[in-house]
Structures are given as C-alpha cells and as structure tokens.
Structure 1
Amino acid sequence: MKPRKKKKRQFRQLFARSLQRLAPARSGSAEFSGPLRSVAILAQEKLGDCVLLTPLVRNLRCAFPDLEIHLIAFSRASASFFMNDPAVTAVHLVKKQPQRYFREVLSRKFDLLFNTKDHPSTHFLLQSALIRARFKVGHKNPFHEGLYDRLLDLEFHSHMAAKNCALLPLLGVADTETCRPSLPAMPVSNEIRQLLRHLDGLRPIGINISAGQPNRYWTEEKWKTLLGSFPGERFVVLSGPDDVESKQRLEEKCRNVIETPPTNNLYEASLIVSKLRLLVTPDTSMVHVASGAGIPVVGLYREAPQDISRFGPYAVPYELVVSTTGEVSGVEPGEVASAVRRLTARAIGKEA
C-alpha cells in the first residue's frame, strides 16, 4: 500500500475509534419499530454507486408511498444524478451551502438514517454522528460497532445492489421489487431520440470506451482490432465527454460502426444501451447501466476480486475478461472477441 493511501486509511480508522469512544453506544442488533415517515440515506460519491442505490430508493417509494426520502450527497455527480428523481423527496449536498444544509438536515430529526458504505469513511461517519435520527443503520464492520442501532451483516463480497437492499427486510418489506438498478429520467436531445428510432430492430453490439480510472482504459487500437474481428456485425460506440474524439475516430475508421451523436448524460446512454444486443465495457458505471436495462455484458476487468464480486454485472448474462497485468490495457482483443462469441452463442441458445 502506498504511504499516502496508508496514512488516509489510518486516519479514517483513528477517527472511527474516536467516535466509538465519544458517541453514546448503540447496540448494532436492535429491531426497527415505530413510524417510518422520513429517512436520510448517505449516498456514495460515484455515478456507478448511484446507479446501484436506485433499487433501494425504488423499493422504499413503492412500499412507503408517503415516506420522505432524503439523499445526503457528498459529490456534485451524485447530487445531480438524484436531483430530478421523482422517487426522492430532496437531495442535500453536504460540502456546499452549509447554512441550507444545517437548516434542512442537521436541525431536524429523521426516523431512520442509513450509511451505505460498508467500510469506515470519515465523511460518512461524521454525518452519521451529526445527523439526528431515531434509528441508525450501517453495515457490519469493526469500525462501525457502537455507532449504529443495527448493523447489516452481509458477506463482504456480496453485490452492492443487494447490500443496499438489505435494509428493506429490517423495515418489514419482504416482497420487494427486483434489486435490478434503474436510472431516473433526464433530458433527452432530439438527436438521441432520432437515433433510438433508427436503432429499433437493428440490435447492434455496443462498446463503451470510457472508464473512471486510467488503469481501467482499453487502448483505442485494441478497440479498433476488436471491431475488425466482426466485419458482419453492426456496432455503436459510447463514450464520456473526454473521449468523444476517440469515439469519432473509431466511427470514421471502422465501416461497421454506426455514427452516433455524443450523449449528454447517463440516462441518454442507458436508452441507447437498451437497444443493444450486448455491451462490451471496462469496469465502470456502464456495467450497471446495462444491468438496469437487462442487456448482457462483456466486462473488461483488472485482477481485483472485490471489483468483480461487489461491482460486477448484476442480474444479466455476462462474460468477464480479466487482465493479469493489473491494468485493463493488458487484455488482448482476441480474448474479448472470444467472450463476445460465447455470450452471443448463449443468447442464441436461450432463444432457441
């Protein structure tokens, strides 16, 4: 572990131990009772985490139509994701507008607080202590003991969508909707609407060339080689704003790629994904977008078991190609092409 990363981890653990000594002890095994009129959910920062939180939000809204659902956001990305979600009552950004945050969150008392992180986080633990709630729930962890009325005990490698939904049985919600992710509606451009009509019936294969971290990127040349391995197939290239030029170069150089406009938000991307036969993507939020749309996934991963078990494809057929070099760029195009063929054959066999 790098020295800086080690120091941050040690600080988080020290902070957690300090809270455990100072805060009034909570049992970690209590049963929830009484009215449920309001809940504060501490939402994780990344877009992929937000997508995996949507099943809990949907199920809460379905089971408790009048419940106030407050999302406590720690990044602009997570706040923007939930801002226009009709299932959410309000979104509160912790690090901005402190007076408003005090007025709308810290000055009131909620019936329930839920910390979605299953490891110690300074910001999440601090807000867990500051936000007043009659009943507080977290995930079982030595650094969470004594700070929550109930600690949810799921195996570490359980998928995060299932870990989020583990709150529901505590609230008496036995017959839940699926824990499949979904996305709140966002604006859709006329160009994307036209594209969706064009894609009806085509069922192309999609490739997502963007990733959240440098070591999760695949090279443009390898994407080009993969596309060349399937001259008889039609493809759609998806990318984030930073990779639009690479997307356009692939569209220009590869004849089997359908030229498409850039997407303006994750919801537009999800609408395109819903038209695909399958999606090839590095380990990023698009894996969860495909899971939400019920679209099979070929995932490109580093050799990191927790990334696969906790954040891999969920409730869809999939093939994983895992690099042995520590970086997704170590995956060879032939391996991915074979995975695409296997997943396609499985889909054909299922249809037959």
Structure 2
Amino acid sequence: MNWKFYKPLRNKLKDNRDFFINKLLDEKRKKININYKDIKRILFMRIDGKIGDYIISSFIFKELKKNNPNIIIDIVSDTSIKKLLETNKNIDNVYVYKRKNTFQMLKMIKKLKKNKYDVLVDLTEHMKYKEFWFVKSMKAEVNIGYDKEDFNIFNIKIEKNNNKMIENYKEILKKLGITDFNSKYEVPISLEYEKEIEKYFEDKKLGSNVIAINFFGYSKGRKINKENILKILELLRKKEYKTIILDSPRDRKILEEIMSEIQDKNIFYKKTESIMEAISIIKRCDLIISPDTSIVHIAEGLDKKIIAFYDEEKVEKWGINRTKNNILIEYNEDINELDYEKELGKYL
C-alpha cells in the first residue's frame, strides 16, 4: 500500500475512534475563573513526548513561578524527555511513564490522584482516549485545554485556530490572569554535557563558524535520504565549512555509512546519548540546519542562525518566525523532492 495515502487514512480512523470514546467518557464541569494566585498545585500533561512543543511552551513554567513562588508545578510525560524536563528548575516534580504502556499509565493515575490538583493543563492538539481518561481521573477543579472545545470536561478552553502555537501557550497564562510576561523559550543546559562537549570542541579544534546539521525529522516524510545527504555535504565541503552532523539514534546506520565514505577533515559526527548533549553542541555552533522541529526550536531559543525545512502545511502553525537569521525552505509532503543544490545552495 502507498504510505503517502495510507498514513492519513490511518490517522483519520484513529482520530475518529478517539473522539467517539472521549465523548463517551466526557463529563460536565462547571465554568469557573481561576487566578494564578489561588493555585496551590498544577499539573501539565506532556505525554506526547514532543521536544519541540515542550521548548515552545517552556516559558509558561518560569512565568508561573515568578508570579506565584509558592505554586507547585508538576508535569507528567513520556519517558523520552525525562532528562530534558528534570533540568528545568521551575518544574517541581517530573512524572514519567511509557505512554503506550497501559499498566504504567494506571499506576501513574493512582499515584497522581493523591496530589489533588487545582488545575490540569493539556498542551497538545487532539487527545487520545487514554489521555482523556487520565484527565478525567485527576478530578482537577479546572481543566485547561487547547483544541478541546468539543469536550465539557475542559472548563477553560482555547479553541483550535491557525495562530502559531506559541500564541496559544501565551493564552493559557492570560486565562490564569498573567498578562505581563516574557515568552522567550527556556532551553535547559546540562552541566555534565557542557564539560564533555567543551572538551570535544577543543580536541577537534573546531573553534568558531561551525555548522550543526540534522538530517532527520520524526516522520518518514521528513527524513533526508542518503543521496540527498551526500549532496548537502558536498555543498558544505565546497565552502570548507566545519560541520557537525547531529546524531539520530534511529538512523545511525546511514550516518556511519556516510562518514566511512566521505572521510573529510571538516565534517564531524558524534554519537550522543540524549537531547541534552545535542543542546550543548547547538549552543556552540553558529548555523543550524534541520528538518526536525525540536532541533529548530532549540536553536531558536538559543538565538542561532537557522535554515529550517518545513512541510508547507506545517509552516503557518509550527514554523519559526521568518527573520534575517531564520530561513524557511518549504517542501510539499516529501522532503526528498527538494532540489538541495538550488534551494540550500543559495543560502550557504
């Protein structure tokens, strides 16, 4: 079956299933206005484990703590971003479980119910039925959600719209009565990896004017293939840029093949253990090239020059702002249909 047509159909069927089950689980909550000063404990749901989305929303935790130092901020998430969350000094407690493991989810529900949250915030688009059950089980007085206008259990709602997602995250603070805030991303830095990457840069004599490049997004349509990777690297080699290829554990076989083939003194590849290590690399580079939104938003939060590849359908909502330092190259569904020599070459 053609993946191009199968995947949207599969996702649509799953969305319809989740919507139907959620409607069955739904329950009425009274409409209520709540002020940040009155919140003792708040729970944020980030169970999708999306790094880029978390980076965009990271300013919320800082602003809540600044305005209400006594508030307890908890976050429940997938295990994949545990280290990232634990470095955020504004989050009091990080709770993680494997999102596909129902038994772990039920254990987590039992544990968190005891915290008696005043407010629960769901920051994701759509909602799977397991996550809906999670919300219902918490029995928070106030449930805040984006794209949840069809469900009564959310008594403070931000309707689905075409605004950039950060605008919806800002709206959450406004709903809680905080109108004066700084929405700059909070990109966490790990002291452990800082030392390691500092030594790596010194050992490789990388210095300044270094490019960090990532070739892989999460989905198949955002992964640059080997043929195009070699074309991109050839462009960089002609310019004699020092380039670090960012690691992708699921795609290491291709990266290792490429490194064995090119053997260029100006191109480096370092296997990394976590996103925290990648952040320390990005921090030391001058230009970041990537089709992956997590890498792009981290680079944006660190005020780096960026060349980002975006599916044209995602640009309006999830794209970074176009500035003299932020270049967006758009493609239609398949990133490998781009002419990289033409589209990327003119910016290098």
Provide the rounded CA distance (Å) in 2 between the counterparts of 1:53 and 1:239: 24
Task: Say which SS state the counterpart of residue 143 (structure 2) adopts.
Answer: strand
Residue 186 of structure 1: how far off its partner (Å): 6.7
> How large is the RMSD of aligned CA atoms in angstroms?
2.8
Between the aligned partners of 1:256 and 1:26, the Cα distance in structure 2 is 64
* Alpha-carbon distance between aligned partners in 1 of 2:346 and 2:64, rounded to the nearest angstrom: 37
Query: Which residue in the other structure is 1:210 paired with?
Result: 216
Give the secondary structure class of the aligned counterpart of 2:118.
strand
Partner of residue 121, structure 2:
114
Name the CA shift for 1:248/1:8 in 2 (closer, same or farther; >3 Å).
Answer: closer
Q: Distance in 2 between matches of 1:84 and 1:180?
A: 14
The 5 Å alignment of 1:88-237 reads: 88-93=91-96, 95=102, 97=104, 101-144=108-151, 146-153=152-159, 156-183=161-188, 185=190, 187-188=192-193, 191-197=196-202, 201-230=207-236, 231-232=238-239, 233-237=241-245
Aligned length: 331
8 A Cα contact 2:43 2:73, kept in partner: yes
Which of 66, 70, 73 is 1:66 aligned to? Answer: 70
SS in structure 1 at match of 2:38? coil
Q: 1:273 aligns with which of 254, 261, 282?
A: 282
The residue matched to 2:190 in structure 1 has which SS? coil
Secondary structure in 2 aligned to 1:56?
helix
The answer for the alignment partner of 1:300 in structure 2 is 309
Quick one: distance in 1 between partners of 2:335 and 2:285? 23
1:314–1:88 Cα change, 3 Å? farther
What is the CA-CA distance between 1:113 and the residue it aligns to?
A: 0.9
Query: Can you list the C-alpha shifts for 1:57-98, whole angstroms capped at 9, x where unaligned?
Result: 22223332221111122x221344323433221122355646
Name stretches of at least 5 consecutive residues in structure 1 with no aligned partner.
342-352
Task: Check conservation: 2:310, 2:319, Cα contact below 8 A.
Answer: no
Bigger mean CA deviation after superposition, 39-48 or 53-62: 53-62
9 and 221 in structure 1: CA distance in 2 versus 1, 3 angstrom threshold: same
Normalising by structure 1, we get a TM-score of: 0.82
Pairing partner for 1:318 from 302, 320, 326: 326
Shift in alpha-carbon separation, 1:308–1:339, aligned structure 2, 3 A: farther
1:9 maps to 2:11: no
Aligned twin of 1:241:
249
Deviation (angstroms), 1:102: 4.4
Q: 1:337 — aligned with what?
A: 344
Number of the residue aligned with 1:350: none
- Cα deviations by residue, 1:115-151 (Å, 9 ceiling, x for unpaired): 112324323322221112222211254423x222211
Match of 1:349 in 2: none
Give CA deviations for 1:177-200 in whole Å, capped at 9, x if unaligned.
224251353741754221244677
Shift of 1:336: 3.5
CA gap 1:314/1:183 in 2 versus in 1, 3 angstroms: farther
Describe how 1:51-62 pairs up with structure 2 within 5 A: 51-62=55-66
1:18 equivalent in alignment to 2:24: yes
Q: How far did residue 277 of structure 1 move?
A: 2.1
Give distance in 1, aligned partners of 2:319 and 2:223: 16
Whether 1:46 and 2:50 are equivalent positions in the alignment is yes
User: CA separation in 1, counterparts of 2:109 and 2:40?
Assistant: 20
* SS of residue paired to 2:119: strand
| Aligned residues of 2:109 and 2:134 also touching (Cα < 8 A) | no
Maintained 8 Å contact 1:203/1:276: yes
Q: Are the equivalent residues in 1 in contact too, given 2:149–2:157 (CA < 8 A)?
A: no
1:346 maps to none
Who is 2:34 aligned against? Answer: 32
Going from structure 1 to structure 2, the CA distance change for 1:265 and 1:199 (only over 3 Å counts) comes to farther
Q: Distance in 2 between matches of 1:315 and 1:70?
A: 33
CA-CA distance at 1:283 after TM superposition: 3.2
In structure 1, distance between residues paired with 2:131 and 2:191: 27
State the percentage of identical aligned residues.
16
Measure, in 2, the Cα distance between the counterparts of 1:209 and 1:129. Answer: 39
CA distance, structure 1, for counterparts of residue 104 and residue 12 of structure 2 = 31
TM-score between the two structures when normalised by the length of structure 2: 0.83
